[in-house]
Structure 1
Amino acid sequence: MEEKKPLVDRPRYLDRIMPFIGTDDIIKVLVGLRRSGKSDMLKLIQQRLISKGCLPQQFISLNFEDYALAKYHDPDKLYPYLMERINAVDGTPYVFLDEVQEVRGFEKVVNSLRATTKADVIITGSNSTLLSGELATYLGGRYVQFEIFPFGYAEFADARQRINGNSSFDAFLREGGMPFIATSNWDNESRRTYLMDIYRSVVLRDVVRRHSIRDVALLERIVLFAMQNTGNILSASAIASYLKAEHLNVSAQTVINYLDYCREAFLLVRMNRTDLVGKQVLKTLQKYYVADHGLRGAIVGDGMTQIQGMLENIVAMEGLRRGYDVSVGAVNSKEVDFVFDKGSQRRYVQVTYLIDSEKTAEREFGVFKDIPDNYPKTVVSMDPILQPRDGIEHRRIDEFLLAEDW
């Protein structure tokens, strides 16, 4: 019998989602990379509801990646089935539709449930355009969307401790935060096989098939280039020029389109640059990060040789996981790795592997001197000895990722 994987609590998400549970006129939409934990989030929501007095009989759960439910990919069969189940529930029915984009015309089904029943509907999907078409038109703003990311270090450590596994930051750095890996004691080859399978699934199902891409090799070369240059400023024209030098004829617009498709599938994350003096968003020369640094490692295969970019990737994703708007700061001719914004809150963060010289210290701390405000400023690194200066804090990256004060 297959060992049951532990269900890791994700309170940061639940605290944002649960206030909307019980409002039957608002559809709850969870989106994110395939295998990032959306299905487990539905189970966690159910656990919270049970703790508040709900009964399991009130839950109607369908995962449309289950072949046994293939017939319900037809909305004309799905809708009457759901109505029959809903009408049989005593109390509030809670309808959980997982990977709902597999159902053609799901928009009409979801909207009809919202408009004609007292069911509380929660759906998940693996594409950011889930609400960009008919569903958004039907719902007219009557929905809330939450993006679910793979595990951060705190969740990874929690998962590993549950299976008596290696919960160190070094393990997280090597393996990444895909939930199934975090709850498994696999060897390196097994992890890489699993991660490559996720990558192929995202590329083929969520990008190639959705956008009818013919030149799959070109798409994968562009994705590889973006992943190899995690943390570097990129432009579509520079990528196109690089590929042309490798005898791959591609336009800058095609590069933009392919990168956008990967963003829609939550494989890549684009960080815009913000002028911290002129207060403007700079629309050129962005950075790209990967939804999970372990996924990047499996595809690029460069081990720890690009640790600076990996550390940046980890911090960027942690900011997003915590609900911040994350951008790259530009101040005069210098760059702040990250600007974290949430309402009236702001924090500046520099990320570096080690501060091993005065030149490095001046580069990492000195950039903050030109920022004309008093928001918190932090340098994070893997240094065993911390060296704060000029009112700027210096924190170990593992401690920073576990901290509750930001």
Structure 2
Amino acid sequence: MLRSEEIIEVLSPLNFWGKGQEVGIERTSYLQKMQEYLGGKDVVLSVIGVRRAGKTYLTKQLLKLKAEHASLEKTLYVLLEEPKFDPYLGLNLLDEVYQAYRDYVASEGEVYLVLDEIQNVLHWEKWVRTMLEKKEKVKIIITGSSSKLLSSSLATVLTGRTITLKVYPLSFDEFLLFKGQRVEKKYELLSKRRKLEKLLLEYITYGGFPQVVSSEDPTLKISMLKEIFEGIVLRDVVARHKIRDAVLAKTVAEVSVNQFACLTSAAKTRNMMVNLIGRKVSPNLILNLLSYLEEAFLIFQIPIFSYKVKEQKLYPKKTYCIDSGIINAVTIKFQENMGRLFENIVAISLIRKFGIENIFYWKSREQEEVDFVLKKGLKIEQLIQVCYEVLDKEVEKREEKALLKAAKELYCSNLLVISRDTRKRKKVGPFEICYLPLLDWLLGDF
């Protein structure tokens, strides 16, 4: 058991009342949502996302804003991956930390409390619920790098009391902000185009993890990305789920990342693993590992669009990776995959904006494919094809053929083709197809 004085010594360097804190560049859209969500009564804000996406900086930006309106002492940040807390992780530690803070820092008044990487504390949800039921003057923000942070059993304990905010690596807009660039007017997309295209290539190559974006050294960027990848696999998959074979888990992760923007299945992944490691692998283990990689936000799996649930379950899913920089760090033939990289960038942008539950792919019996079906409520909102270039007439014809067939079947007239530099509108029968460069689409199609 830690003494109160020892707890304050651990907390002090990580809190505004103990030491000046680095908060990074503000990500305004997330901050606005966080403040809005915390406006409710007896609400716990859950901030989740892939490791190193910037959750800690975001919560500290929020605490800084609150400190400016009240005082530094009315904020408390607790890192539950702090090594000195490791031997004591449990509900008693949460009690002791909170009481030490009240005894030494702020004995009264409302406090904004951040519990960073809360999943390290078993049954943490019971402590949070107790705090709410006791009507403690505290606004609680929890963070974690697992999509299952609020699983069904935990949600039962905190029914109606949680709001979840998912944090992703930087969008291209945010990336430009980190690079000191803004595009606010239509003419700037023209006047700055060469510079923006260069920055887009950097974004595709090294991705949007804030720490990586802030580095100027290409070699260091790749090292950071490899470290992030290994951290996700070893800490958020192997350690969290007590996987005995860490090498197998890492290999499955590498294979999954290498299959970005491709149709995959557990059976296909298992067969690849058998060939790679030369021994039998349990199908259930592969299924579990793929599920854990999704939970850790390393990969996303998008189903085929069908009105039949059974078909969605049976057909292969399309795999996408959280960040193109990780793809660069893990795959071998990065530069040969620009079309797939474009598709991966679009996929993550759509997931970030609309939620993965509203994104599908479409495939005909003749194997014609549309990359993205965007659903809004019960309506098909848009059909999107992505390719690197459509200068070749055969490529253009192929992309349009699938798009038009899906448009007729799904009763959707909002058709889009995203490529490197083609911008036009093309009338094909009763339909009009919009062609946009990836750069323009990412910046909101001025």
The CA deviation at 1:389 is 4.1
Segment drifting more, 379-388 vs 390-399: 379-388
Native 8 Å contact 2:382 2:415 kept in 1: yes
Would you say 1:315 and 2:334 are equivalent positions? no
Equivalent residue number for residue 347 of structure 1: 382
Native 8 Å contact 2:109 2:137 kept in 1: no
> What is the rounded CA distance, in whole Å, between the counterparts of 1:24 and 1:248 in structure 2?
55
Would you say 1:366 and 2:401 are equivalent positions? yes
Would you say 1:114 and 2:145 are equivalent positions? no
Question: Secondary structure of 2:381's partner?
Answer: strand
Give the alignment of 1:204-215 within 5 angstroms. Answer: 204-215=234-245
> What is the rounded CA distance, in whole Å, between the counterparts of 1:198 and 1:249 in structure 2?
29
Give the total of aligned pairs.
399
In structure 1, list runs of 5 or more residues that go unmatched.
none
> What is the rounded CA distance, in whole Å, between the counterparts of 1:193 and 1:125 in structure 2?
24
Say if 1:8 and 1:182 are closer, same or farther in 2 by CA, change over 3 A.
farther
Say if 1:382 and 1:95 are closer, same or farther in 2 by CA, change over 3 A.
same
Question: Secondary structure of 1:129's partner?
Answer: coil
> What is the rounded CA distance, in whole Å, between the counterparts of 2:306 and 2:35 in structure 1?
36
Say if 1:89 and 1:335 are closer, same or farther in 2 by CA, change over 3 A.
farther
The CA deviation at 1:212 is 2.1
Say if 1:244 and 1:141 are closer, same or farther in 2 by CA, change over 3 A.
same
> What is the rounded CA distance, in whole Å, between the counterparts of 2:139 and 2:445 in structure 1?
32
> What is the rounded CA distance, in whole Å, between the counterparts of 1:345 and 1:16 in structure 2?
27
Equivalent residue number for residue 261 of structure 2: 231
Equivalent residue number for residue 125 of structure 1: 144
Native 8 Å contact 1:273 1:327 kept in 2: yes
Percent identity over the alignment is 26
> What is the rounded CA distance, in whole Å, between the counterparts of 1:358 and 1:365 in structure 2?
10
Native 8 Å contact 1:86 1:119 kept in 2: no
Equivalent residue number for residue 92 of structure 2: 76
> What is the rounded CA distance, in whole Å, between the counterparts of 1:393 and 1:215 in structure 2?
48
> What is the rounded CA distance, in whole Å, between the counterparts of 1:353 and 1:48 in structure 2?
42
Say if 1:250 and 1:267 are closer, same or farther in 2 by CA, change over 3 A.
same
> What is the rounded CA distance, in whole Å, between the counterparts of 1:169 and 1:256 in structure 2?
35
Equivalent residue number for residue 7 of structure 1: 25
The CA deviation at 1:71 is 6.5
Which residue, out of 165, 172, 183, partners 1:153?
Answer: 172
The CA deviation at 1:69 is 4.8
Native 8 Å contact 1:339 1:349 kept in 2: yes
Say if 1:63 and 1:388 are closer, same or farther in 2 by CA, change over 3 A.
farther
Segment drifting more, 132-141 vs 109-118: 132-141
Equivalent residue number for residue 421 of structure 2: 383
Question: Secondary structure of 2:347's partner?
Answer: helix
The CA deviation at 1:234 is 1.1
Give the alignment of 1:253-402 within 5 angstroms. Answer: 253-275=284-306, 282-283=312-313, 284-324=315-355, 325-333=358-366, 334-343=368-377, 346-370=381-405, 371-372=407-408, 373-383=411-421, 386=424, 388-390=426-428, 391-402=432-443
Cα offsets for 1:13-39 (capped at 9, x unmatched) = 344433221324121101111101111
Question: Secondary structure of 2:53's partner?
Answer: coil
In structure 2, list runs of 5 or more residues that go unmatched.
1-20, 182-194
The CA deviation at 1:319 is 0.9
The CA deviation at 1:78 is 2.0
> What is the rounded CA distance, in whole Å, between the counterparts of 2:271 and 2:129 in structure 1?
46
Native 8 Å contact 2:111 2:139 kept in 1: yes
Tell me which amino acid in the other structure corresponds to 2:237.
V
Give the alignment of 1:25-64 within 5 angstroms. Answer: 25-49=42-66, 53-64=69-80
Segment drifting more, 20-29 vs 339-348: 339-348
Tell me which amino acid in the other structure corresponds to 2:160.
G
The CA deviation at 1:384 is 5.2
Decide which structure has the larger Cα Rg and report it: 2
Cα offsets for 1:169-219 (capped at 9, x unmatched) = 01101111111111222x222111111111111111111122222222222
Which TM-score applies when normalising by structure 1?
0.88
Cα offsets for 1:243-277 (capped at 9, x unmatched) = 3344232243322211111111111111111127x
Say if 1:279 and 1:352 are closer, same or farther in 2 by CA, change over 3 A.
farther
Tell me which amino acid in the other structure corresponds to 2:236.
D
Native 8 Å contact 1:27 1:123 kept in 2: yes
> What is the rounded CA distance, in whole Å, between the counterparts of 1:63 and 1:320 in structure 2?
28
Native 8 Å contact 2:383 2:412 kept in 1: no
Tell me which amino acid in the other structure corresponds to 1:216.
A
The CA deviation at 1:158 is 1.0
Would you say 1:135 and 2:135 are equivalent positions? no
Tell me which amino acid in the other structure corresponds to 2:57.
D
The CA deviation at 1:83 is 4.2
Which TM-score applies when normalising by structure 2?
0.81
The CA deviation at 1:332 is 4.6
Native 8 Å contact 2:23 2:61 kept in 1: no
